[in-house]
Amino acid sequence: MTDTVTSVIDTFSDNNKDKLAYILGALYGDGHFNLNSHRIQFGSCDIEFIRCLVNYISDIFNIKLNISVIKLSKKNKNHRDYYYISSSRKLYDMISQFNYKYLKRIPDFITNGRMSIRAAFLGGVFDAEGNVDIHIIKSRNEIQRHVRCYSNDKNFLEKIKILLLNLEIKSCINRSKGKNYCLTIWNHKGLVNFEKYVNFNIIRKKLELRKAIESYKQIQTQWNKETYNAVINLRNCGFGATNIQKKLLIKIPKPTIESWIYKDVKITR
């Protein structure tokens, strides 16, 4: 980060540093820099997300942005309205200081910053490009729940993975459709820590995350203390979740085993 950018950051309050981190996370995640017109375009179907971004930009840079809307369908409720902003050149110049248009580089004040700054940046990224997925694999009687984030820039996701790990949130990166890559947070502890430290500002996604975490409690009511102790005994012998699942006489979903051996949930009955 250049001395000029460092001096700008140093003038911000702690609260505004968090807001700036969130703005950068959202724009790095899904913003579009138009190099010809020197404008930033950004849109979402979640109006509270756009309002949050516009308010943060106003607070920090004293730039007023208008929110426009595209009516996708008046009949189909699944086709939600699309809200978007197109920024002034002033905001473009301010954000360009952080090397977005060349390197998509996460500024040092975020990577080396306190927890709230890193969490705010991640919150912006996941509000822009993240989702919560819950589905049942019937053949294994297993509920899958994930928080995912997508990007065609694998290097960027690798940086996100490191920031998450600093918050004790494990994730993995795999190829998605087309040129995209997908970062996945997949276990109970990861989802709980994501909700605790990062979470979503978008209400819809926030509720889906809570539902995913609560689903662990639902599936674990079918197991008793004897089964739980069998899992823990195997863990104490050095086995991981996959091998424990293979050694048990009864079929238990791997995410449930993981939640037990990582001490996130205990069975007492």
Structure tokens belonging to residue 132? 């919560």
pTM: 0.78
Among 146-155, 167-176, 180-189, 256-265, the minimum mean pLDDT is found in: 256-265
Same domain for 91 and 57?
yes
Among candidate residues 7, 14, 80, the one with its CA nearest the CA of residue 43 = 80
d(CA 89, CA 128): 22
Domains: count for the chain: 3
**Domain identity same for 172 and 209:** yes
Q: Mind giving me the DSSP string for 105-132? A: PPPHHHHTS-HHHHHHHHHHHHHHHEEE
Return the number of other C-beta atoms located less than 10 Å from residue 187's C-beta: 21
134 has a pLDDT exceeding 70: yes
Q: What is the mean pLDDT of residues 10-21?
A: 89
Across 41-55, 84-98, 164-178, least confident range: 84-98
Same domain, 176 and 253: no
Q: Which domain holds residue 54?
A: 3-106
Read off the DSSP letter of residue 221: T
Neighbour tally for 189: CB within 10 Å: 17
> Domain holding 40: CATH number?
3.10.28.10
Q: Residue 96: how many CA atoms within 13 Å on its side-chain side? A: 14
Report if residue 121 sits inside a domain.
Answer: no
Mean pLDDT on 103-122: 87
- Kindly report, residue by residue over 75-97, the tens digit of the pLDDT: 666 567 889 888 778 888 888 77
The per-residue pLDDT for 220 is 56
Identity of residue 53:
L
| Same domain (yes/no): 33, 80 | yes
Do 190 and 244 have their domain in common? Answer: no
User: Residues 173-227: pLDDT tens digits?
Assistant: 998 877 789 999 988 889 999 999 999 999 999 999 999 988 876 555 567 788 8
